[in-house]
Amino acid sequence: MRLVMIGSGYVGLVTGACLADFGHTVTCVDKDAARIDRLRRGEMPIYEPGLEGIAAQNVRDGRLSFTTDLTGPVKEADAVFIAVGTPSRRGDGHADLSYVYHATREIARALQGNTVVVTKSTVPVGTGDEVERIIRDERQSRDFSVASNPEFLREGSAIQDFKHPDRIVIGVEDEHARAVMEEIYRPLFLNKSPILFTARRSAELIKYASNAFLAMKVTFINEIADLCEKVDANVQDVALGLGADNRIGSKFLHAGPGFGGSCFPKDTMALVKTAQDYDSPLRLIETTIAVNDSRKRAMARRIIQAAGGNVRGKKIAIFGLTFKPNTDDMREAPSISVIQALQDAGARVSAYDPKGMEQARALWTDVAFHASPYEAAENASAICILTEWEQFRALDLQRLEKLVAQPVLVDLRNIYSEEDVTRFGFVYSGIGSRSGAPMHIADLAAARERLVEAV
Ligand SMILES: NC(=O)c1ccc[n+]([C@@H]2O[C@H](COP(=O)([O-])OP(=O)(O)OC[C@H]3O[C@@H](n4cnc5c(N)ncnc54)[C@H](O)[C@@H]3O)[C@@H](O)[C@H]2O)c1
């Protein structure tokens, strides 16, 4: 099949490269000329494990190419995917569909007919109808189809997720679209990935309902974690027991600093807005958003308390800035609110992230970025692990203890146990256990004494 991907970001690039890998001929389009130049030179504009290799292989094999001009490729395409951004609209929180509609008009002008236009971007229910109307008005004909094919990949494991999805959701309104979409995804179907065909509006809603549910699950365990701290229970044990129930499932039950990223915040908000417009409010999701928002600044207060209650003029080291590991994506990362709140309290922030430094530098001029966690930790009054990058799981705590001004470790991802850390003289504050209620630095001496006694 001849396919065109409009938008070569996290989703467009991964989808384009993987569909080329299935044997289709794919043209990835982006209006950002610098991005296309980099791609043509073989450089990936984003960090996504495994992407560079797949892209390079398929470029070499002649199945994947990059351009800023969609006209030629769209004319010959069996299907054109729209994979442009749908950020929150400033002011009201609805999904900003201007990129989708702009791309739609461009596609409409180039279409030759019998092509399936597929929204891969996350779009509110009913957007497919509007895409169809725009194209029909432009072309004065109905010789095209519009399908919805929301994407469920996760940054950091996007290739694996695309090639081994839990399900593929396709919303269609006609047989031609169904046949073309079936052909596109045949390799996955042969691989036994379930394909769910629905009406277009249902497919659009499945995506938002999925993200909202996951965001709610994360927020639920975060609130349970807070309760664990008060009642001297351990959230990791609670999550284990809870998640072992097949009806609940163990994923997305990791307590932490609150959800962020390029999707959950904007998608939960957009769904709430859609529901309000239809006079069918989603109270659970409204609450999820509110609870999550307040959690991030609460995390900063936790760090401040662990560092002694007053961080004015003190240095706080942040390990991990991206919203999750294995991506360089900083969109809505919890680090943004946490660092802001620390700076509001007068702290000096030093930071290290394995892949997110380039994007982070564009966000802050008043954060000191370092080449390693050890450099970032020098003279810090507290270290905070904010993103659970693999390399933070085996930090040289002995070395760190000698570098810091105060041996305080706030582990907002629970990647260490209290025992792991106190052995090296650190005061530990995790999430959702007794250690989560942060110890005041005055208690440090007592903790050390207990440690000496234990030894
Ligand atoms: N990032 C994820 O993990 C993820 C997962 C599932 C779904 N989604 C959804 O997929 C969509 C894309 O997300 P993303 O993270 O890839 O966004 P992104 O910002 O990384 O990429 C979007 C790209 O589209 C380009 N673009 C915008 N308008 C264009 C036009 N008219 N013609 C050509 N190119 C154009 C931009 O230059 C940009 O490179 C969003 O709706 C998002 O909600 C994202």
Query: What is the full per-residue pLDDT of the chain (455 aa) written as tens digits?
Result: 999 999 999 999 999 999 999 999 999 999 999 999 999 999 999 999 999 999 999 999 999 999 999 999 999 999 999 999 999 999 899 999 999 999 999 999 999 989 999 999 999 999 999 999 999 999 888 899 999 999 999 999 999 999 999 999 999 999 999 999 999 999 988 888 899 999 999 999 999 999 999 999 999 999 999 999 999 999 999 999 999 999 999 999 999 999 999 999 999 999 999 999 999 999 999 999 999 999 999 999 999 999 999 999 999 999 999 999 999 999 999 999 999 999 999 999 999 999 999 999 999 999 999 999 999 999 999 999 999 999 999 999 999 999 999 999 999 999 999 999 999 999 999 999 987 655 544 455 555 565 556 54
Q: Best of 5, 30, 44, 125 to mutate for ligand 1, by most ligand atoms within 8 A of CB?
A: 30
Give, for ligand 1, the residue of 262, 266, 327 to mutate: max count of ligand atoms closer than 8 Å to Cβ: 262
Which atom of ligand 1 has the smallest separation from the CA of 11?
16
Task: Tell me how crowded residue 49 is: count the other CB atoms within 10 A of its CB.
Answer: 15
165 lines ligand 1 (CB under 6 A): no
309 Cα to the center of ligand 1, angstroms: 42
The Cα–Cα gap between 103 and 66 comes to 16
Q: At CA 257, angle to CA 44 and CA 303, rounded to 5?
A: 115
Query: Cα of 347 to ligand 1 centre, how many Å?
Result: 35
Our answer on whether the CB atom of 84 is closer than 6 Å to any ligand 1 atom is: yes
Residue 38 to residue 59: CA distance in whole angstroms: 13
- Can you give the pLDDT at residue 434? 82
Determine if ligand 1 sits within 6 Å of the CB of residue 100.
no
* Binding site membership of 261 for ligand 1 (Cβ less than 6 Å): no
Global pTM? 0.93
Centre of ligand 1 to C-alpha 36, Å, is 14
pLDDT for 435: 74
Q: Is 5 in the pocket of ligand 1 (CB under 6 A)?
A: no
By alpha-carbon position, which residue is closest to atom 33 of ligand 1?
A: 30
At residue 427, φ and ψ (nearest 5 deg) are -90, 135
For ligand 1, atom 18, name the residue with the nearest CA. 9
> Of the listed 18, 228, 263, 384, which one is catalytic?
263
Q: In what order do the strands lie in the sheet with 367-369?
A: 367-369, 348-352, 315-319, 382-385, 408-411, 427-429
Is residue 341 within 8 Å of residue 270, measured between CB atoms?
no
263 is catalytic: yes
Cα of 72 to ligand 1 centre, how many Å?
A: 21
Nearest protein Cα to ligand 1, atom 11: 121
Q: Is the CB of 12 under 6 A from ligand 1?
A: yes
Query: Residue 100 C-alpha to ligand 1 middle, in angstroms?
Result: 9
**Is the minimum distance from the CB of 7 to ligand 1 under 6 angstroms?**
yes
Pick from 109, 151, 210 the residue to mutate for probing ligand 1's pocket: most ligand atoms within 8 Å of its CB. Answer: 151
- CB of 101 within 6 A of ligand 1: the answer is no
Question: 99 in ligand 1 pocket by Cβ < 6 Å?
Answer: yes
Please tell me the distance between residue 440's alpha carbon and the centre of ligand 1 in angstroms.
44
Q: Using CA positions, which residue lies closest to atom 27 of ligand 1?
A: 84
What order of strands is seen across the sheet that includes strand 144-148? 64-67, 25-29, 2-6, 79-82, 115-119, 144-148, 168-171, 195-198
